[in-house]
Amino acid sequence: MSERRFDGKVAVITGGARGLGRAYAELLGGLGSRIVVADNGSALSGSGSDAGPAEQAAQALRGAGCEAVACTESVATEPGGKAIVEAALDAFGRVDVVIHNAGNNRFAMLDEISYDDFRSVVDVHLLGAFHVVRPAFERMVKQGYGRVVLTGSIGGLYSMPSVVNYAVSKSGMIGLNNIVAIEGAAHGVKSNIILPGAVTRMAEGLDTSQYPAMGPELVAPVVGWLAHESCSVTGEMYVSMGGRVARAFIAETEGVYRPDWTIDRVAAEIGEIRDMSRQWTFHPAEDGFSEHMARSFELVRRGVEAG
């Protein structure tokens, strides 16, 4: 049993009735957190709803000695996201942790996908994150404490065919994570992204026959640490796949300064522009934007002086 407990804390877990979300709920609940299982019980496509999964999950948590309630509102709408946070406030009077795990799938190639299929996935993954985080963040700022864990994906970093809706959603999560980390820093609010790899119903349609053991229980401890008060990082991304845990981050090459450019000059120097032997990395929650500007301007200044 972990020494890091969640006594007195309230965790909202979207998509908390099954798969990864259920594993997170069981772990945090077993360590003293009060749990809001937020899950509308929709099909994998995001269609329909069923109160059963959330109610059953909450009942199982209570049977294990945890305080838990179910909320079957949908993250896909602004009122739904607000209602999920209000369910935590009504039941437990506060919200300390938000783990946005809700998701759906609708596969289609870019030249074939319908607008409805695109929006259905964006509404649940990306807008769903905003719909829940926005009202929760306001409460966290007022109480001077909060932990947000957003669910990204290597599909948002590297992607694959037939998932433009998913790729856009998971890439967009990076910007939301940065803003929560930056604006929450002065208020005790930290935010990070989990990039999980686990075989759950979200893997339906994929050939997983060659995968190693990839149960949700391998991911849950990483999310548990990111959600804990002792978490020492913010504005970062962590991979958890099959027992491997790693940090993912965005980097850029140092690049090349020239006082003027032509198309042919860019073509001639693209090798040096792409040279990865000298890389820059910046941390969003440590004034990375300003540091990027300052270092870029310094490179220009040195180039002007040398020229």
pLDDT tens-digit readout, 2-29: 789 999 999 999 999 999 999 999 999 9
Mean pLDDT of 116-142: 98
Residue finishing a domain among 248, 267, 293: 248
pTM: 0.94
- CATH number (domain holding residue 92): 3.40.50.720
CA separation for the pair 85, 71 (Å, rounded): 9
CA separation for the pair 254, 299 (Å, rounded): 9
Q: Are residues 165 and 21 in the same domain?
A: yes
Q: Are residues 54 and 159 in the same domain?
A: yes
Q: Are residues 170 and 299 in the same domain?
A: no
Q: Are residues 209 and 115 in the same domain?
A: yes
Nearest to 122, CA basis, from 46, 18, 40: 46
State yes or no: is 211 an active-site residue: no
Q: Are residues 134 and 64 in the same domain?
A: yes
Is 125's pLDDT higher than 90? Answer: yes
Question: What domain count does the chain have?
Answer: 2
Q: Are residues 217 and 265 in the same domain?
A: no
Per the prediction, the chain carries an average pLDDT of 94
Out of 24, 145, 166, 238, which one is annotated catalytic?
166
Q: Are residues 269 and 229 in the same domain?
A: no
Q: Are residues 185 and 281 in the same domain?
A: no
CA separation for the pair 80, 86 (Å, rounded): 10
Domain that includes residue 264, residue range: 251-306
* pLDDT at site 213: 81
Residue finishing a domain among 233, 248, 263: 248
Mean pLDDT of 212-226: 93
Does the residue 42 lie in any domain?
yes
Question: For 105-260, where are the alpha helices, taking DSSP H only?
Answer: 115-143, 154-157, 164-184, 220-227
Q: Are residues 257 and 149 in the same domain?
A: no
